[in-house]
Each structure stands twice: as structure tokens, then as C-alpha cells.
Amino acid sequence: MEPRRRFTSLWPGVALFDLDGTLVDSAPDLAAAIDDMLTALGKPPAGQEKVRQWVGNGAQILVRRALTGRADWENAEPVDDALFRDASEQFYQSYDTLNGSCSTVFDGVETCLQRLQEMDCRMAVITNKPERFVRPLLERMGLEHWFEMIIGGDTLPVKKPDAEPLLLAMRTLGGTPGTTVMIGDSRADAEAARNAGLPAVLVRYGYNYGPPVDELGAEVVVDSLTELL
């Protein structure tokens, strides 16, 4: 399929959005919850700069990265199961308490969503964040009314970069591979789009770890979602 660089009245018919790092800058809340967790476990806080590099693959991997201090947590010493359970419980409790109080909507997001709605584009959020945290964050940010469907990291047995969350949303909203686009900020989003046979738009301002987003094979990479309009 020929890459489309701008949204028009003919395309896309369905737009699938990542949440953290694409629509919402939630790193301040995530970092605060991670630091609360680490402090409770007697470990030094990680700080927001490190946590920004660890976001993107769901809460469980974020916790494992924090416990090992590494983005490539798979190559670190295994984390004890009991420690991981305690850490996860503490993280979820802290994040729930924060309730998005430090998060903000990225510039250009609402302009893009409004234009897509005016073009009768149907929209969904597909994130690896646990589902119970997704709607409250969208509501606090005033974004929930734009989206007809939400798929969290635990909504299905699989999550991004698996294709199924994208394919389910596409089918539910009446899209096809030729009318649907995935918009995100990370390797997981790019790989999920590729696995689903969909074009990907990636933003440079998000939380991608590893190679720069320009090297991930997306059809379009932008600094602001307004560049698509």
C-alpha cells in the first residue's frame, strides 16, 4: 500500500491510537509510582528520566525494568517471584492513588482528534496499560469522548506487538487494512502495525526505547500529530 502522509476526507476510516507517549504524557505519574514502589522496597528511586525509557510494554515489564534498573530486563538477574508480586502491588496502589494527577495531553492531540471526528473517522485506544487504568486516565484528560473502543494490555490474552488487539479494533469499527492506521510512539506500536498488515504513524516525542523511531520502519514519523492534517 502506498504510504499516506496526510489525513484526508477519504482516509483513514479507522484510527487506532496508543495512549502513553502518544496521546498523554503520563511519565510523571508512572515515575512517581515507580519511585514510591522502589522506596517502599528499600531501593533508590529511579527518577523520571529513566522511567521514560522504560515505558511502552505494559505495567508488568515496567516494574521488572525498575527492579533490575535495565530496559533489557531479560538479560539481568531474574527477579524473585515474591518480590515481583509485592512490587507490582505497591506500584498499582501508588499509580491508582495518583489517578493521572501529573499527566498532561500532548500538544496537537486534540486538534488531530477533532479533525478526524469531523471526517467521520472512528477511533480506538490500544494500549499495553492495564485496562482498569485506561478509561479513568482518558476521562481525567478529557479525551474519552473521542474513542468508541478501548483495549488495554490485559483485555485480551495477548497485547502489542501482537496483531490481535489491532485487528479486533479494526474489525469492530468497520475498518480494513486499506482504511485503518496505527498511531503510536514505540517499537511495540510499529511491530504491532506490521504484524496486522497496517500502516504505522510514529511520533518522536514519546517513550520509545532502543533505536530511534525513524529507524523502526513506520510509513510516517512526525513531531506533532498536527503534521498529519
The residues annotated with a catalytic role in the active site are 18
DSSP 2-48: ----S-BTTB-SEEEE--BTTTEE-HHHHHHHHHHHHHHTT-----H
If you count DSSP H runs as helices and E runs as strands, how many of each does the chain have, helices first? 8, 8
Residues 6+ apart with CB under 8 A from 229: 6, 7, 111, 112, 115
Task: Identify residue 92 by its one-letter amino acid code.
Answer: Y
Strand partners, 181: 15
Rounded Cα gap, residues 135 and 122, in angstroms: 17
Distance CA 166, CA 104 (A): 25
Cα 16 from Cα 198, distance rounded (Å): 10
